[in-house]
Structure 1
Amino acid sequence: MTLSVDLFFSFRSPYSYLALPKTRKMVADYDVMVNLRPVYPLAVRVPGFFKRANPQFARYVVLDSSRVAKHENIPFRFPRPDPIVQDMATLDVAENQPYIHRLTRLGAAAQLEGRSLEFTDAISRVLWDGTVSGWNEGDHLARAASAAGFDLAAMDAAVTADPDRYEQVTSGNEQAHAASGHWGVPTFAFENEPFFGQDRIDLLIWRMESKGLTRRS
């Protein structure tokens, strides 16, 4: 029996990106389906989050995510531009958020097709692996999407025609994320039990093995 696990994911989260290689390996090695469910980053989801957080929070995330990437040998650089329009000096988050709205809605569109993990893996590498500058320019995203079997222009057109449809998908994801028992990303949820962080995948596999998870032949 194929098991199913939800993955709550943010396109701005370095740890979400860093979880993808092990997630893809888990799917390749085990009889499990991962339903990646995009959510908005805390900067959008929780207004004023960064202003209330300890000042060392952001600095530590930069330090730690960079060393995790080096340890795991994952190509890594913070996206240019930042998917969130935010003044990092004042921590003010702009009201208009064209990048993260587009990315998250596209993720929701891929979720509706049942292939959100494949889409998100392809797009996230353009943002995070450091091979391109200006991920939002030119055909970088379109080429990555095409290589994963998606027509980005058609997806963008569908989202533009009915943005509320994809906002409702994201809103449902955020409600399910909260109901899972955690607020951070990446969070895996299996049978209502949350596993937070890219370093909890082995623990997730252990739990699923107790519920009958088997390796692929």
Structure 2
Amino acid sequence: MTLHADLFFSFRSPYSYLAIGRYRAMAAEYDITIALRTVLPIAIRDPGILFTGNPNVGRYIFIDAARSAQMLGIPYRWPRPDPVVQNLATREIAEEQPYIHWLCRMGQAAERRGRGLAFADEVSKIIWDGSTDDWYLEDHMYPACERAGLDFCELDGEAQHDAEALDAEIAANQAALEAAGHWGVPTLVFEGEPFFGQDRIAMAKWRMEQKGLEKRG
């Protein structure tokens, strides 16, 4: 019996990056489909709550994401450029956002083709692994899409020409995340139960095994 789960994911979340490859590997090894449910980062969808309250929150995320990557043996560096154009010192979000809406639409277009998980994994690598300072260029995006079994030009065209419908799907993903009882990413939702964070993968797998998760034959 094939199980199904939804993975709520942001291209700007370091923890999403640290989780995506392991969830992709799980879906390859076990009889489960994991749908990518791309959402906009909090910095875009609700900037009023980003890093509010204790100023140590932002600093902690930077420290913890880096050490988590080191512990997991995953290459990591804060993206250059940042998928969200933001002054991290003042927390000011720029009005012009040339990357994040495009990335989210590309991810949603990939999921329409059943390749969302692969797309998010391959593209997250070029954004976060420190291998390039210009991940958004076609020279990097095209081969990343190719490795995910997708055509960059096709996705890019869809992101431009079907933007309104893709944005509506992304908004529906956000509503589904909230309905599942969470607000952050990465969150895997399995049979209505949310598992938030890159450190809850083993727990999610444990629950799936209780429900009959088996290796692919």
Please indicate the TM-score interval, normalised by the length of the shorter structure.
over 0.9
| 1:63 is the counterpart of 2:63 | yes
The Cα RMSD (Å) is 1.2
* Secondary structure of the structure 1 residue equivalent to 2:5: strand
- Counting matched residue pairs gives 217
Measure how far apart 1:12 and its partner are. Answer: 0.3
Give the aligned partner of residue 13 of structure 1.
13
Q: Which moved more, 1:1-10 or 1:47-56?
A: 47-56
Give the aligned partner of residue 212 of structure 2.
212
Give the TM-score of the pair, scaled to structure 1.
0.96
Measure how far apart 1:112 and its partner are. Answer: 1.1
- Aligned partner of 2:203: which letter? L
Give the aligned partner of residue 99 of structure 1.
99
| Offset from partner CA, 1:60-83 (integer Å, 9 cap, x none) | 111101111111100111110000
- Aligned partner of 2:193: which letter? E
* Secondary structure of the structure 2 residue equivalent to 1:5: strand
- Aligned partner of 1:212: which letter? G
Deviation beyond 3 Å, 4+ runs, structure 1: none
- Aligned partner of 2:119: which letter? F
* Secondary structure of the structure 1 residue equivalent to 2:47: coil
- Aligned partner of 1:208: which letter? M
Q: Give the distance between the partners of 1:51 and 1:9, measured in 2 at CA.
A: 19
- Aligned partner of 2:121: which letter? D
Measure how far apart 1:51 and its partner are. Answer: 5.0
Give the aligned partner of residue 184 of structure 2.
184
Query: For structure 2, which runs of at least 5 residues remain unmatched after alignment?
Result: none
Give the aligned partner of residue 119 of structure 1.
119
| Offset from partner CA, 1:169-195 (integer Å, 9 cap, x none) | 101100101111110100000111100
Give the aligned partner of residue 50 of structure 2.
50
Measure how far apart 1:50 and its partner are. Answer: 2.4
| 1:132 is the counterpart of 2:114 | no
- Aligned partner of 2:145: which letter? A
Q: Give the distance between the partners of 2:21 and 2:51, measured in 1 at CA.
A: 32
Give the TM-score of the pair, scaled to structure 2.
0.96
- Aligned partner of 2:82: which letter? D
Give the aligned partner of residue 199 of structure 1.
199
Measure how far apart 1:216 and its partner are. Answer: 2.2
